[in-house]
Structure 1
Amino acid sequence: MTVFVDHPAVLFLVLLALFVGAVALGAFVLRRLAVLPEKDREDFVIIQTSTLTLLALLVGFSLSMAVNRYDLRKTLEESEANAIGTEYSRADLADAATGEKIKSALLRYTRLRLANYRTRAPEELAKIVRETANIEAELWQLATQAANGQPTPIGALVVAGMNDVLNSQDYSEAARINHIPLGAWYLMIIIALLGCVVQGYGAKGSLRKGLLITILPATVALSLALIADIDSPKGGLIRVEPRDLTRLMQSLES
């Protein structure tokens, strides 16, 4: 299931096929096995409305969760750029040699963070993660050198700034891998399948053979694919653009 969620286009096609099949099951199979008497249609409409309303609520709540996570990732990207920029300025507080090494390492670190946001290939991403870990170790070693060379509040300021840089990267990565729980996906898909079956079972006349068999499945499949797209920063079309890191990179290089 995780593979489908991380690939919204594939998820849309699979769900569309499942939902169309569910509507067809209700319209052409269940109606023959159990004919719906007209006297029971009012009770059936209540069940149908309740099922689709529950589905709408679940989709709405899941979309809200996905958007909140997307906003959090944007906020953390901004915080990460601010932390790097601040530490780059604080590097001037260390001795000249150490300060230049810190600035050079921060420049390479920023390039890697930009590549991390823009890269989707798993192999390349794994390489970037390894290089980032190496530079983080180098940055922390340089910060401790600055503190040992200046055991004063000024040295502590450099160390605190470097700690913010490293923590901001951890927060960003934690937000990237924080997705909507699989249990919520299973629940939405199951209720959507039941809603499509019920909708097909209650359809009348030409609607059973025409529009209804595709409109509801397409609408629900598109909604779930949109949620998956927003919730998958490395798999969908919608992703956080590292605008603050790009602006910082341009500033550092100039």
Structure 2
Amino acid sequence: MLDGFVDFVLEKVPLWGVAILLILLCLAARRAGVWVRQRFHPQSPAPPESAGSDPSDYIVGAIFGLLAFMMGFTFAMAMDRYSDRRTAVREEADALRTTYLTASVLDQPSASRTQYAVRQYAHSRIAPEGLWNDRTEAALNESHALGLRAWQEIRAAILPIRDTDLATYLVETTNEAISQGRHREILGRTHLPVLILDLLLVYTIVAAGVLGYIVGPERRGARHASTALLVLYTAALIVIIDLDRPQEGMIKISQQPILDVVGIMDADRDGSLSRPPPAPPN
């Protein structure tokens, strides 16, 4: 039940909304901890701030120290996935560029038709911004159709020369471009296990409740400091989610490698790469 709720929130609510919701939950949990202390242990008020160190302070330190360790470990996992996605964009761009340039060696009109199909496919590989929705899914399906069309054009172009090294190399680069694209899509849809995010969410809220119970209603200065602490931990958790789901927040995967390749292809719309060089002057 919790897994479905977390997935629903992360998929339907913007990250800034998730941040506000999490902060409110933490503050409510802290307030609930204060209420529990007043309700069940009214005879044991918290020591004044001028007093020496209290054993309960070590409990708070241990709880939030463990939370920091868990967040640090999860952040490292999310950062690795982010780096893999960024690398996948560059590798797909390189494969598309190699395929396009290799197709220029074909005879006309095969070279122009093949390059046009590859160029159309490359345009569809620029990832859209925003949440994943039906419109994004339709754009991805169209990209798959364009990739199939590019492969069909290349197949038709190399059939007459299928026994040559050029045909072999063009097939390899085309397969590499399509495979890198599929790999990139898989990475884009592979997230941290929801159980880990559930654990961090529940642990943060419980830690806020324990913090409220230990701080109590008397230590007003400590309550202000605890609010800042909860906001900082919430911000760290939101950054982890943002890294793990690059289509939904402020941290995006740069599409510049694909844009650069598309720019090269668009600049070659006249097919200058496919034309033979001019004959040297006599």
Give the TM-score normalised by the residue count of structure 1.
0.90
Q: Which runs of structure 2 are paired with 1:210-249 in the superposition (5 Å)?
A: 210-212=223-225, 214-249=227-262
The answer to whether residue 212 in structure 2 is matched with residue 177 in structure 1 is no
Alignment of 1:181-220 (within 5 A): 181-203=193-215, 205-207=218-220, 210-212=223-225, 214-220=227-233
- 5+ residue gaps, structure 2: 1-5, 48-52, 268-282
Deviations 1:35-86 (A, max 9, x none): 55889x9554443222111100111111111121111111111111100000
Displacement over 4 Å in runs of 4+? 35-39
2:32 corresponds to 1:25: yes
Q: Which residue of 2 aligns with 1:5?
A: 10
Aligned residue number for residue 264 of structure 2: 251
Counterpart amino acid of 1:173? Answer: E
Corresponding residue number in structure 2 for 1:102: 114
Q: In structure 1, how many angstroms separate the alpha carbons of the residues matched to 2:27 and 2:91?
A: 44
1:148 aligned onto 2:159: yes
For these two proteins, the number of residue pairs brought into alignment is 252
Residue 86 of structure 1 aligns with which residue? 98
CA distance in 2, matches of 1:188, 1:103: 49
Query: CA separation of 1:224/1:79 partners in 2, compared to 1, >3 Å: closer, same or farther?
Result: same
Comparing 89-98 with 158-167, greater Cα deviation is found at 89-98
Cα drift, residue 213 of structure 1: 5.3
Unaligned stretches of 5+ residues in structure 1: none
- Give 2:9's aligned amino acid: F
8 Å Cα contact 1:112-1:128 kept in structure 2: yes
Matched, 1:158 2:170: yes
More off after superposition, 71-80 vs 212-221? 212-221
Distance 1:124 1:32, change over 3 A: same
| Percent identity between the two aligned chains | 21
Other-structure match for 1:55:
67
Aligned 8 A contact 2:34 2:215 in 1 = yes
Q: Is the 8 A contact 1:8 1:226 kept in 2?
A: no
More helix by proportion, 1 or 2? 1
CA separation in 2, counterparts of 1:245 and 1:218? 37
Say if 1:233 and 1:239, in contact at 8 Å, map to a contact too. Answer: yes
The amino acid across from 1:58 in the alignment is M
1:117-158 deviation per Cα after TM superposition (whole angstroms, max 9, x unaligned): 446462331221121111111112122223321122211111
Native 8 Å contact 2:46 2:215 kept in 1:
no
Deviations 1:174-217 (A, max 9, x none): 11111111000111111112211111111152427851452232
Choose 1 or 2 for highest CA Rg: 2
Say yes or no: does 1:65 pair with 2:77. yes
CA pair 44-120 structure 1, distance change in 2 beyond 3 A: closer
TM-score by length of 2: 0.82
